[in-house]
Chain A
Amino acid sequence: MSLISEIKYRLTVDVVGPSYLKWERRKMTKAIETFKPKNDYSAPPLKISAWTKELISKHYFRGRYVEGHEPVAWVTSGGPVEPLKALGYFVIYPENHAALSGARHAQLELMGEAEDAGYSRDICSYARTDIGAALSGKTPVGKLPKPDLLVACSNICQTVLYWYRVLEKHFNVPLVIIDTPFVYDEAPPHVIEYVQKQLENELIPTAERVAKKSFSEKKFKQVVQYSKEASELWLEVLNTGKNRPTPISIFDQFIHMAPIVEMRGDAITIDYYGAMLKELNERVKNGIGAINNEKKRLLWDNLPIWYKLRSFAEDLGKYGVTLPASTYTYAWGELAPMIDIDRGMESMARIYTYPILNRSTGHKLDTMRSMVKDFSMDGVILHSDRSCKPYSIGQMSQRSKLMDEFGVPALLLEADHNDPRAFSDEQAAQRMESFIEMLGVDDE
């Protein structure tokens, strides 16, 4: 890489792009301050939204130019990003990109590309969206950088193992698979050791070779510190939902979770969630809720239905129903206390092994029960997600147990996180409205 090209790259991604995005953020902040919601139940939007947009745009803007300047890794969400960040990798999360495509209603075209290439509609819609994006080069973010390294961790599902093999074949770059054994109760020490060895003996040497850099313990420790602080702040952000009215709903959380997924390990993420927490605490102090007429509070289980975020928020909001928390957004914060800076690699091996999706269905039921209690929930919506089998398995019995053993009303809602063709608007609306009536919203 020539010096001129490097200077041009730095100017573009560190000066020109960020300056423009900062200006956009200022404009958006002003617009938010004067924004009047179209209905009487919606609270004004969070001011932090302008910063969220800036962060995400900056990330994908850098992605457009990064090839050849910084090593690029594509990683599964909840995968071992900290060692890669310590080696200076620019990281893309295909799932996050797929979700963003879904929220921008660009996913159908991408899934179509994958389906045309022969990938079945029964495969996860995130996988189809991203395989479609990889095959066609199409993306709503302008351009996705080609990976130099692929890292798939089995802690979220088995699909990623096949999905990343497709990417490996397509991009012809090394793939590292980190196998995290399923945790039934607690992970025994040999499991953590097994994961740690894969990080030390497989991931780091391969990542070093690809990046042509040596792994620095000092840098790694710094990244782990940043990850811990950001995850703790995210957890605090989510816990503001325990207030009544909740200052934040899952519809905000689903958007504002992007940095904790995509920019975990960056210093800026700490500043960002610190600012968000400040804004939410202000809201709590002033009694401002995510909706103005909070009557009932529901817990959401599973991934969001990305293409329905706004309409769901509106449909529920008009009845005075708010969703202060979800097991999904909580998954990105609940492990924060487990991160031990002084036992860096071992504690990260533990974090990668313990996500909710790698634990038993009984554990998820316990999580839901305690969240119902801690957040004073009136009921639970379990999104039975056609595309996420590991998250959806056990929901039938979890629903029955919530209802029968704990007296918590619960609704099973069939949908798909990214494929609107597996979603029936009218029927979902029927179920949701019936459930809301059952909760007795009208009696209040």
Chain B
Amino acid sequence: MSKFSALGFDIGSTTAKIVAVDETGKIIWQYIENTEPKIEEQVENLLKKVKKEVGDTLNIPVVATGYGRNLVLQANRKVTEITCHAKGIFKAVGHGGTLVDIGGQDSKVIIISDKGKVVDFTMNDKCAAGTGRFLENTAERMKIPVENIGKLSIESPDEVNISSTCTVFAESEIISMLAHGEGIAPILKGLHRGLISRVVGMIRSVGLVPPLMLSGGVVKNDAIRKMLSESTKQTVIVPEYPQLMGAYGAALIALKE
């Protein structure tokens, strides 16, 4: 029976993730829900849930990451997503390389050494166009469930070019395309292409070190993985829990405390 030994929080802009690990660093419990505006209260409730479902949190080390990390008052330490993602993926897949993490409001590319250390990283600039929110916004605007947009894109033989690199402007561009009779699926395919081209630009800026790995909530969308693989001509490795790499890394850091 493994022992509940450490807890990692990843309070992202879109979802809050928690991972509990045992003394060997194995994930024994995990939970994801949407991030709420009152993060302190949400963390309180999440801890109650941990107590109920995993065990007493007294003397359990906690590390928090993500944009909301400073609001996790119970955390022994706050660590950035870059460090946590690198730790998480390295343990999960057992090797270094280039990790692309596409989150709700930021995307990042992290170069990880064969010892699991961060060697270099880059993040999207002051714009959400290379992130999950970009796709989410558009899906909502087109009234298509976000879970379906990847499938529709893959199946579409046609593709239109979306020139806007800004989430807000892309939305107006899409409305105008719809008004001109463009089909939904080709537009979606173009949107995915737009996101991938920004991510590939980020990979280039730090220099790809194979193998290529992908994490973040957007991984649930098959088109992203497929297009990233096509654009980089690399096999894309996805960990078992792609959305949890930040929280997992945080839990692993907590375990070492």
Least distance between B105 CB and chain A CB atoms (Å)? 10
B204-246 interface code vs A (CB 8 A; 1 in, 0 out): 0101000000000000000000000000000000000000000
* Binary flags per residue of A414-444, CB closer than 8 Å to B gives 1, else 0: 1000000000101100110110011010000
Chain B binder among A39-47, A76-84, A396-404:
A396-404
SS class, residues of chain B in contact with chain A: mixed
Interface hit among B32-40, B121-129, B161-169 = B121-129
Whole-angstrom distance from the CB of B14 to the nearest CB of chain A? 15
Instruction: List chain B residues, Cβ under 8 A from A440.
Output: 117
Partner of B67 from the list A403, A412, A426, A434 (CB cut-off 8 Å) is A426
* In the complex, B81 has a CB within 8 A of chain A: yes
The 8 Å CB contact of B205, one of A396, A431, A434, A437, is A396
A contact residues, total (Cβ < 8 Å): 17
- Distance (whole angstroms) from the CB of A392 to the closest CB of chain B: 14
**Pairwise interchain contact B125-A434, C-beta atoms closer than 8 A:** no
B27 interfacial contact with A, CB 8 Å: no
Residues of B within 8 A of A437 (CB): 79-80, 82-83, 118
Contact A403 B123 (CB under 8 A): no
Contact B80 A434 (CB under 8 A): yes
Which residues of A from 117 to 167 have beta carbons under 8 Å from B? none
Name the contact of B121 in the complex, choosing from A396, A414, A426, A434 (C-beta under 8 A): A434
Given the complex, which residues of A lie within 8 Å of B120, measured CB to CB? 403, 409, 438
Max count, chain A CB within 10 A of own CB: residue among B120, B126, B207: B120
Contact of B126 among A409, A427, A438 (CB under 8 A): A427
In the assembled complex, which residues on chain A have CB atoms less than 8 Å from the CB atom of B82?
Answer: 434, 437-438
Which A residues are CB-close (under 8 A) to B80?
Answer: 430, 433-434, 437
B121 x A438 contact (CB < 8 A) = yes
| Cα separation A426 to B66 with both chains bound (whole Å) | 12
Is the beta-carbon distance between B83 and A434 smaller than 8 angstroms? yes
Chain A residues with CB under 8 Å of B106's CB are 427, 430
Known: A404-B207, A430-B80. A438 touches B118 (CB 8 A): yes
For window 367-414 of chain A, which residues contact chain B by CB distance below 8 Å? 396, 400, 403-404, 409, 412, 414
Report which of B79, B126, B205 forms a contact with A414, defined as CB distance below 8 A: B126
Provided the pairs A404-B207, A437-B118, A438-B118 are in contact, do residues A431 and B123 lie with their beta carbons within 8 angstroms?
yes
Q: Interface residues of A: mostly helix, strand, loop or mixed? A: helix
Closest to B205 in A: A396
Closest CB in chain A relative to B107 CB, distance in Å = 12
With a cutoff of 8 Å between Cβ atoms, the chain B residues found around residue A412 in the complex are: 122
B207 pairs with A414, CB closer than 8 A: no
With an 8 Å Cβ cutoff, the count of chain B residues facing the other chain is 18
Q: Would you give the shortest CB distance from B66 to chain A, in whole angstroms?
A: 10
Given A400-B207, A404-B207, A434-B81 contact (CB < 8 Å): yes
In the docked arrangement, what's the CA distance between A400 and B117, Å? 18
Chain B residue at minimal CB-CB distance from A426: B67
User: What's the minimum C-beta distance from A344 to chain B, rounded to whole angstroms?
Assistant: 47
Interface centre among B80, B118, B126, B207, by most chain A C-beta atoms within 10 angstroms, is B80
In the complex formed, the residue of B with least CB distance to A433 is B80
Report chain B residues within 8 Å CB of A433.
Answer: 80
Distance between A164 CB and nearest chain B CB, rounded to angstroms: 31
B228 CB, min distance to chain A CBs, angstroms: 22
Distance of A404 Cα from B106 Cα, bound (Å): 26
Choose from A400, A409, A427 the contact partner of B123 (Cβ within 8 Å): A427
Residue of B nearest to A440 (CB): B117
- A interface footprint on B93-104 (CB within 8 Å = 1, 0 otherwise): 000000000000
Chain B, Cβ-Cβ closest to A434: B82
A398 to chain B minimum Cβ distance, whole angstroms, is: 13
CA distance A233 to B117 in the complex (A): 42
Q: What are the residues of chain A within 8 A of B205 when measuring CB–CB? A: 396
Those of A24-46 within 8 Å (CB) of chain B:
none
Chain B residues within 8 Å of A434, by CB: 80-83, 118, 121, 123
Residues of B within 8 A of A403 (CB): 120
A146 to B95, CA, bound (A): 65
Complex Cα spacing A403 to B122, Å: 13
Cα-based distance from A431 to B207 in the complex (angstroms): 18
Across-interface contacts of B126 in A (CB, < 8 A): 414, 424, 427
User: Which residues of A from 309 to 348 have beta carbons under 8 Å from B?
Assistant: none
For B118, give the chain A residue with the smallest CB separation. Answer: A438
- Residues of B within 8 Å of A414, CB to CB, are 125-126
CB distance from B118 to the nearest CB of A (A): 4
Task: Mark interface residues in A56-96 (1 if CB within 8 Å of B CB, else 0).
Answer: 00000000000000000000000000000000000000000
Q: Which of B114-149 contact A (CB under 8 A)?
A: 117-123, 125-126
A403 nearest in chain B by CB position: B120
Chain B nearest CB, measured from A83 CB (Å): 44
Compute how far the CA of A424 lies from the CA of B79 in the bound complex, rounded to whole angstroms. Answer: 20
Q: Which residue of A is nearest B67, CB measured?
A: A426
**CB-CB < 8 A to B122: which residues of A?**
412
A430 to B126, CA, bound (A): 12
* Chain B proximity of A380: nearest CB distance (Å): 13
Q: Which residue, of A400, A424, A437, A440, has the highest number of chain B Cβ atoms within 10 A?
A: A437
- B194 CB to nearest A CB, Å: 21
A427 vs B67: C-alpha distance when bound (angstroms): 9
Tell me the complex Cα distance, A182–B8, Å: 54
Nearest-neighbor residue (CB-CB) of A443 within chain B: B117
Q: For B83, what are the chain A residues with a Cβ–Cβ distance below 8 Å?
A: 434, 437-438
User: What is the minimal beta-carbon distance from B109 to any residue of chain A, in angstroms?
Assistant: 12
CB distance from A171 to the nearest CB of B (A): 37
- Cβ-neighbour of A430 out of B117, B119, B123 (below 8 A): B123
What string of 1s and 0s marks CB contacts (under 8 Å) between B76-87 and chain A? 000111110000
CA distance A391 to B123 in the complex (A): 22
- 27 A-B pairs with CB atoms under 8 Å apart are A400-B207, A404-B207, A409-B120, A412-B122, A414-B126, A424-B126, A427-B106, A427-B123, A430-B67, A430-B80, A430-B81, A430-B123, A431-B123, A434-B81, A434-B82, A434-B118, A434-B121, A434-B123, A437-B79, A437-B82, A437-B83, A438-B83, A438-B117, A438-B118, A438-B119, A438-B120, A440-B117
With contacts A433-B80, A434-B80 known, what are 20 further pairs, Cβ within 8 A? A403-B120, A404-B207, A409-B120, A412-B122, A414-B125, A414-B126, A426-B67, A427-B106, A430-B80, A430-B81, A430-B106, A434-B82, A434-B83, A434-B123, A437-B79, A437-B82, A438-B82, A438-B118, A438-B119, A438-B120
